[in-house]
Amino acid sequence: MNNIEKRVENIKEDLDFFEDELSKYEYIIDLGKKLEEFNEADKIPENIVHGCTSQVWLTHEIKDGKMYFHGTSDAIIVKGLVYMILQIFSDSTIEELKEIDMDIVHELKLSEIITPNRQSGVIGMMKKIKEYALNA
């Protein structure tokens, strides 16, 4: 199991702790409150994630051969989803990120919690991360 798979497993365990969808939803909203402050200057068209109903921005930096991601959204539930995605994929090697081939919505059972439009947003974030890795 690689680092990304371990992180997915950790988040899945956290979500499974909650009995009902509303509790999971509230937990995701709480995660969004942990997001680091996002630089307003980075809220530019190049950093927008496509496929999201709400506005989502995603940036990256490379340090010591690993990629680190920063992001935010204008919707509180999506901020929580951004936080989860950043936790899973930040601090990964470019090679690990290039090889991502997982349905994160399915892996985390998000289809039980969030709407199809929000699911599309998560898929959009994944595409953006993979795009950053492929272009690194």
Set 31, 52, 82, 104: catalytic member: 52
SS (HEC) of the chain:
CCHHHHHHHHHHHHHHCCCCHHHHHHHHHHHHCCCCCCCHHHCCHHHECCCCCCCEEEEEEEECCEEEEEEEECCHHHHHHHHHHHHHHCCEEHHHHHCCCCCHHHHCCHHHCCCHHHHHHHHHHHHHHHHHHHCC
Please indicate whether residue 83 is annotated as part of the active site: no
Q: To 10 degrees, the CA torsion angle through 43, 123, 130, 28?
A: 70
Instruction: Tell me which residues are annotated as active site.
Output: 52
